[in-house]
Structure formats: C-alpha cells, structure tokens
Amino acid sequence: MPIPLSDDSGSFCDLLCGEDAGALAEDLPGYSTEPEFAEDSDESIAGFIEGESDYSPRFDYQDRFRSRSLDPFARQESIAWILKVHEYYRFHPLTAYLAVNYMDRFLSSHQLPQSNGWALQLLSVACLSLAAKMEETLVPALLDLQVEGPRFIFEPRTICRMELLVLTALNWRLRSVTPFTFIDFFAYKVDPMGTHARYLVSRATHIILAMIHDIDFLNHCPSSIAASAIIYAAGETQDLAFVSPGVAVSWCIGLTEEAIANCYQLMLQVAIDHKQRKPPMILSQLRVTTPHSVDSGVSSSPSSPPNKRRKLNNNCL
C-alpha cells in the first residue's frame, strides 16, 4: 500500500505568474543587450524551422487527450511538478521545456500502464533527469531530484531504466528544436539595437513556460510559439507595439502569418483564462511500493526520500 507522506496544494502557475520579469532577465546567463548574429543566421534559423516537426509529438497526440484516451489532468500535474523542481534548483528554462518535450514525445508513441499514476511520475522524473543532464552544469542526484511533493519516490536504478526506455523511444535525439531555439533571434529582429531585447527574451521565456501545460499548444510548432511570445512581449512595450503576426512573418523563411496569428490568439485567450482559473489541488505525496513493470521491465521500487535535500547554489538560472 502506498503510504501518504504530506499534503501540498497550489498551482504551477504560481511559480511563473508571481515572478518579476525584470528580475528574471537579470538571471538569464550569458545574455547581452546587444546580441550579435552571424551573416548566415537567417539560413540556420530557416533550417531549424524546416526540421522542427521532427522533434514534436505525433500528429494525433492532442486528439488523444481530447478523446480522454490520455488524461490531460495527469499531464498538467506532471508538468506542474517539473516546473516546481525547475524553480527549486533554478534550472535553465530550456531544461523544463525539454523535460516536457521528452515526456510528450514518449507518450505520443508509447502507452503507460493505467494504474494509480506511478508510471507517469516515473516518466516525468526520467525526462527531467535527461533534460538536466543535457543543459545543466551541476545535476542533482536522482533521489535529490525528487523534491517539491512528488506523488511517488523511485530508486535511482528504476529511474535509470526508464531513462533508457525514453532514449530508445526518442532515438537518442535529445537536442530538440524548441521555442528557445528562436526567441533570441526573433528578439533581435524586433529590436536590432538591443534596447529592449533582454526584456523581450525574459518576458517571452516567462510566457512560454506559463503556457506549456495547455494541450492546445501541442499542434503549434516551436517557431510559431516563439514568435507569438515575442509579439506578446513586444505588445507590452510601448515602443514595440507595432509588432504583429504580419510583421513577424518577415523574420525568417518558413514562418507563416496564419500559423503565428492562430498561436498568438490562443496565447491571448489562455492568458485571460489563467487569470480567471482557480489553482488546481495537488494530490498528496505517496511512496512507491508496487513491483509492476513498465514495458521492458522498468519498475517502481521502494525507496526512501533523501535525508537531506541539497539545493544547488551555482550560477544556473
């Protein structure tokens, strides 16, 4: 029997909506107010746009949530936990986004056991671990990674086996094309002099992470999400209020005004909904004791949470 450990309530939106965008901008590592791009940057970005669909979930993934063959609320809960750990360890924004990307790509092609949710939690931990290994200088131990009220605690060997399943499912293609591939370049296109570029990147980052839980964005490509976030951020700056999807389409070959406009309108609507929505209740934490396996033998195993939680104090975001 799983043993209840503690209660934790709140919304993952609280991690983002209460944050000062100016403070976030100060923490962006290595960002300059005068970004420089090579002469062939347009061609490189166009190449990323052309290949971005290779790093997205399958085309029917969103429909499976709408038909309830996949649980959208379970996905929201997993993303809420990923964002909490991202905040706790001050991981880079890309780390959180990659973790969700890995999870979505895995779920779009593999079915997890329909149990009490331990399998999805295990997948979430494995995806966050892989993303942290890709992006972070210092990576917490697997037990230490399981902070901020996870529903289950897994042994490191169990997580490692799940990581291998994820790597195999993704064909070891972890360097995904994401909105963060584009936002610096798009910010430069809006503001070549760099006067507002730092704010644009900071605010767009904030927006992208705040919207990541919503299944409606699954059918929008990373470049459209990035362009929409930059337009949204520019609209909050008086000097840049002229930026629109019609302007954004000129930023690079491969962008389409319709795709950007649809994504931008969705972003506006979701922002309104967020202000009106009550925070969801996070379920109480449980300890895993079930021996069931996932696909090729990955199982949940009994383990104890670390005696001491170690918070990294390096120069990560």
Number of structural domains in the chain: 2
Closest C-alpha to 100, from 68, 137, 128: 128
Supply the range of the domain harboring residue 130. 3-12+71-175+281-299
Sign of CA dihedral 59, 121, 87, 15: positive
Q: Is the CB of residue 290 less than 8 Å from the CB of residue 115?
A: yes
**CATH code at position 160:** 1.10.472.10
Interacting residues of 75 by C-beta distance below 8 A, sequence separation 6+? 65, 103, 107, 120, 213, 215
Question: How far is Cα 103 from Cα 273, in angstroms, rounded to an integer?
Answer: 25
Domain check: are 210 and 255 in the same one? yes
Report if residue 190 sits inside a domain. Answer: yes
Domain check: are 226 and 99 in the same one? no
Closest C-alpha to 211, from 17, 67, 10, 28: 17
Domain check: are 111 and 161 in the same one? yes
Domain check: are 124 and 97 in the same one? yes
For the segment 35-83, what is each residue's pLDDT rounded down to a tens digit?
566 556 778 888 899 888 888 888 888 888 888 888 889 899 999 999 9
Domain check: are 134 and 211 in the same one? no
Question: How far is Cα 291 from Cα 166, in angstroms, rounded to an integer?
Answer: 20
**CATH code at position 201:** 1.10.472
Domain check: are 91 and 217 in the same one? no
Check residue 40 and give its pLDDT: 61
Report if residue 139 sits inside a domain. Answer: yes
Maximum average pLDDT range among 110-119, 175-184, 290-299: 175-184
Domain check: are 117 and 7 in the same one? yes
pTM: 0.75
Lowest mean pLDDT among 13-17, 27-31, 107-111, 176-180: 13-17
Domain check: are 110 and 226 in the same one? no
Domain check: are 118 and 239 in the same one? no
Report if residue 22 sits inside a domain. Answer: no
Report if residue 156 sits inside a domain. Answer: yes
Domain check: are 116 and 144 in the same one? yes
Closest C-alpha to 249, from 49, 2, 100: 49
Domain check: are 141 and 255 in the same one? no
Distances (CA, A) of 59 to 53, 62, 64, 67, 98: 10, 7, 10, 14, 19
Residue 309 has pLDDT above 70, yes or no: no
Domain check: are 169 and 288 in the same one? yes
Lowest mean pLDDT among 46-55, 124-133, 161-170, 290-299: 290-299
For the segment 206-247, what is each residue's pLDDT rounded down to a tens digit?
999 999 989 989 989 999 999 999 999 998 888 888 889 999
